[in-house]
A = this chain, B = another copy of it.
Amino acid sequence: MNFSYEIKKICKQSGARIGVLKTPHGEIETPVFMPVGTCATVKGLRREDLINLNAQIILSNTYHLFLRPGEKIVEQAGGLHKFMNWEKPILTDSGGFQVFSLSSLRKIKEEGVEFSSHLSGERHFISPERCMQIQHSLGSDIIMAFDECTPYNATYKQADEAEKRTARWLKRCFEEAKDYENQMLFPIVQGNFYKDLRLRSIENCVPYARCGIAIGGLSVGEPKEVMNEMLDFIMPNMPQNMPRYLMGVGSADCLLEGFSRGVDMMDCVLPTRVARNGTAFVKEGKLVIRNAKYKNDFTPLEQGCDCYTCKNYTRAYLRHLVNCGEMLGAELLSIHNLHYLINLTKQIKQAIYDDCLLDFKKEYLKNFTLLEK
């Protein structure tokens, strides 16, 4: 087997872990923040940028690649790594979340989901088996189960049914993917905000979790306290001997909350998405570079930051680029924001080594605000 996970250190204060996940495309040290490249490109960045940022693994998306360019083209290219020229590990999301987000455009049946492309309106059908086959064509290292995600306001009945279907679909995913070499299937724990359903989902997932398991259905509109409380409940019930991946969550405060509860992998589109709107992550929260006060501010985005952007450019120049709608503005802010989260993860790792992650988190969040400055 080409995958293994080894825990190197457990923080005595928090229980958070440092580990090494081995994949066919290299090792990943956890905790890890994973940049998102939905359409086989982390928006605006080059592979060299990602390497310089010490990105260990990137995400891509089955739904988007299925629509464009189509998984067969990626397969003909020799897989996603070759297609996009990225040699390190890749995780593909199953597209389940995207398909369910289409709401009125999709129809869920036991066999799978019928949906209309958000691009062309064309009708498509994806079953758990088809989802595995697409991810097999893509050739990503970590492939995700095809699950049913429910919104924050789902009723118990809806959450219960979705969890049951997710469990049945997981079995079908596993059957389809069990002989895939060089690809590891991560089951996804669902159950909405109902503790008994979450517990049942974990039980349903564990038999199919060989070297990784994910938590889905969080960060779907609920207040952060609600998410953290649910994590408090979920994490002690999760298997210990494999990486635990909290899906689609990754602002600075969320990284601190997740990793300190024993989450090992996180991802989020936020750092590149807000960069394109001119927002930079800084130690105190968010900096909106369009603000007039930065027009002749010739200091870097963040004093002391050693990212490419901060070493080479000033707030005044970045503001100018963003104001003019210049691509370089989005590129440079994306680099800074990814560096910020990857660097925060590095500091979190150090705090795990030093058995003081809860202290570190408290100290960090003391001066941190979600408001824009």
Contact = CB atoms under 8 A, between A and B. Distances in A.
Interface of A: 39-41, 43-47, 68-69, 73, 76-77, 83-85, 295-296, 298, 312-314, 316-317, 319-321, 323-324, 326-328, 330-331
A77 B298 contact: yes
19 contacts: A39-B321, A41-B326, A41-B328, A44-B328, A46-B328, A46-B331, A68-B323, A69-B316, A69-B320, A73-B295, A73-B316, A76-B296, A76-B316, A77-B314, A83-B316, A83-B320, A84-B317, A85-B313, A85-B317
A192 B66 CA distance: 55
A35 to B, nearest CB: 13
Contacts of A330: 327
Given A68-B323, A69-B320, A314-B77, A45 B328 contact: yes
A122 to B, nearest CB: 15
Copies of this chain assembled into the complex: 2
A120 to B, nearest CB: 12
A328 B76 CA distance: 21
Nearest to A326: B41
Nearest to A324: B39
Per CB-CB distance, the 7 closest pairs between chain A and chain B, nearest first, are: A44-B327, A69-B320, A41-B328, A39-B324, A41-B326, A85-B312, A73-B296
Nearest to A67: B324
A41 B326 CA distance: 8
Contacts of A76: 296, 298, 316
Given A68-B324, A327-B330, 10 more contacts: A39-B324, A41-B324, A69-B295, A69-B316, A69-B320, A73-B320, A76-B316, A83-B314, A85-B317, A331-B331
A296 to B, nearest CB: 5
Counting chain B CB atoms within 10 Å of each CB, which of A73, A316, A320, A326 scores highest?
A: A320
Contact of A47 (B43, B45, B84, B312): B312
